[in-house]
Structure 1
């Protein structure tokens, strides 16, 4: 039986809940297969990068690492499953939603304190795009149009509370303009209406917009990120283009239930950081628009705390509610 067959078999089988391992034995962790919960459906960037990293962790740590998708409620269902696992054989891949959801869902079935930061993984930049036929050619042009026609310039998103929505809400607040948010059930239908010139703009993921930019159907105006996107090094950031202080860095990272012993957490941290520094993995991440992050578990913990405060304020000010 080859490794692929073994991993597929493990993914299909129910996960037994093993006895807890003493912290003193954690240096040899893991002693059994480990699952990585992805709290979103298969097919997205978070799922793709988790499946890239899982085999590398298996090779480094000597046990199979099985990806398990537990989607629903903006990532909260899978996050709760990880927080309550209690088996010391569960990890969790999170997105920026980890910092947003406490404001979106006032009665979360878990607390951020139920999880510990393990390692940063990657940022997948969002980019501000408009239809190629649009008269809007740059960020100042978008701001001018929005000021000339308050509330009439629209931006599409993949749903309420997504990074695409929050990017537009932050833009409206910092540029002091009134853009109208049009939420869709997923990025696909939002992009379709943008391509059809039925909405004016979108702060879309670089992954889904790039083919339409190269195909000449979308015009890219700026990157939402705090530094220029590696895929478009000549493209200004929104802050550089005229909205000082603006930054939306859609990040992805590894976390674990708080009962994972520190020695075990350190082993995973080292393995994840080694994986994203590997040249082959970096090339594969770049193919999905992902840029490996610097830092470690401590810097990730600080990032989550800061982002929770930042996005909590944006959600409250904009009156955003979960779908």
Structure 2
């Protein structure tokens, strides 16, 4: 059981949810407002994607990230900023020739995947630790070992903590190799990502199995998607971990009732408190995770 829980709020994501809920942030101002709302509701960390303001689709434009991050920082709201670095690994084979990229492909190298991280220098950025069949179409998310090692090296040089996002046991195995190689500073920070087709299933048994493979001293959190968001949050707390909620993973508060990011944070904080724990402040999270803003 974890009685001192770090709450992360993933405020928007890159999925096709903007037409399903008016609360999903799209513009940099909306993303920043969502991060501030989440912090005021009790989140220590805000995990940020950005979207094209015209189309609502996920974007990796460094200028959009910088605008959103600058707005959060200018608000003087104390929240740990965690930027996604998961864009730029999408491969969709061409229908005519599967050896060639088709529509929807967006493949770039490690430096470009981290261009916005270098620009904004957040305290944390995500690092998706492997390749995954993504959904029921032809889309594959690709992160090769050389790409990941280079991304880990760069974030280490910049003093940005990589959140090691793992979608199955093989991803944990590779992340542990990077820890052993000295590419990840202690304590390593893992996010057990459950329920994404076709990664690890969102069950307590799966979460426990993945937790058992983490290296000694690792900090970890987990999340489930859609209706499993709160059950998986409760399971993570019970198993000794931290939690992630937010509109990236789930747009519903109750059956038939759309959520805001603040709603989801307040709900999970209530669950944590009813379990006898408490949500840590951003500064307490920095200290626990060994971020560059930690107290000396």
Structure-2-length-normalised TM-score: 0.31
Structure-1-length-normalised TM-score: 0.29
Q: Which has the larger radius of gyration?
A: 1
Structure number with the bigger relative contact order (C-alpha 8 A, sep ≥ 6) is 1
More helix by share: 1
